[in-house]
Structure 1
């Protein structure tokens, strides 16, 4: 039987735990919940306070120094992943340093925040994802979050990326299916 992993990805919640709760309720209703919650910084404690299960978070520029690591390397069903906020690699200026950081860590997926703008692109064998913000959207008029469904197959990992507004409406422009090689 093929294993799967559903990952809920949020960032830049800035104290809006009510919105995190709203997103979790929507995900539960729409797809039956999540297996892992990633928070890409700025109020990491919003998900680490014990109210939300299976959460991994990193520190952002608006988090207290040392509350969490600024970056974490994860293994998501065999997909090497880097989780970081992005302020340390200046993602508001250019994705170039983020690309270097991803290459340095040898990851196939880089999840970041900081810009408050939803982003999904592929470059140099890596998928880069910013779920946008649950508090103060920029570059997109709605608060957003992302879902990633990973499914094992014989020759790799199928990945289906989708983005949603706070109200649970899917944003088809951000849909992406990708295969991560094993």
Structure 2
């Protein structure tokens, strides 16, 4: 199972359109907020599942601020990150992940791509597909999950 993780598209259709070319072999798309409604642009041609959470720049209450999905026995906690101080530290979101029993925690908000693993929990920020942090490139994340194996997470420049 292959999952694409995007965040912080900030209502830029051109960024969403550019991401489409990386979705050919993807089963699920996850959007970590600030542009959650941008996923509607993907629904027209993507047949897999799409999940999004609301970020601090998303006005619509159509999307939850947090959600948990399970993929091949891996629990994935998704949030934007603004409620967990992710621009300054990762302890708060790490402990939230532990509290909900997550295997993987996904968030955005800081526009800074990271993957960290500690004490059996993986946290990932895929960066921003529109406005990367500092001099970084625009990025998105991928997760590959297979039965009875450790998930493989990686960041891709777009």
Q: Normalized against structure 2, the TM-score is what?
A: 0.91
Tell me how far 1:91 sits from its aligned partner. Answer: 0.8
Give the corresponding residue for 2:95: 100
CA RMSD of aligned residues (A): 1.5
Q: How many residues align?
A: 155
Give the corresponding residue for 2:150: 158
Which shifted more, 13-22 or 45-54?
45-54
TM-superposition CA deviations, 1:42-91 (whole Å, max 9, x none): 01000035435321000000001523110001101110110000001111
| From 3, 7, 10, the counterpart of 2:3 | 7
Q: Is the 8 A contact 2:111 2:132 kept in 1?
A: yes
Unpaired runs of at least 5, structure 1: 167-182
Question: In the alignment, is residue 45 of structure 1 matched against residue 37 of structure 2?
Answer: yes
Q: Is the 8 A contact 1:79 1:157 kept in 2?
A: no
Tell me how far 1:101 sits from its aligned partner. Answer: 0.7
Q: Is the 8 A contact 1:118 1:140 kept in 2?
A: no
Which structure 1 residue ranges, 4+ long, deviate > 4 Å from structure 2? none
The change in CA–CA distance for 1:90 and 1:56 in structure 2 (over 3 A counts) is: same
Alignment of 1:26-65 (within 5 A): 26-28=22-24, 33-48=25-40, 50-51=43-44, 53=46, 54-65=49-60
- For 1:52 and 1:14, the matched residues in 2 are separated by 20
Q: Is the 8 A contact 1:16 1:134 kept in 2?
A: no
- For 1:161 and 1:102, the matched residues in 2 are separated by 17
Tell me how far 1:163 sits from its aligned partner. Answer: 1.4
- For 2:124 and 2:135, the matched residues in 1 are separated by 15
Tell me how far 1:125 sits from its aligned partner. Answer: 1.3
The change in CA–CA distance for 1:52 and 1:11 in structure 2 (over 3 A counts) is: farther
Unpaired runs of at least 5, structure 2: none
Structure 1 counterpart SS, 2:67: strand
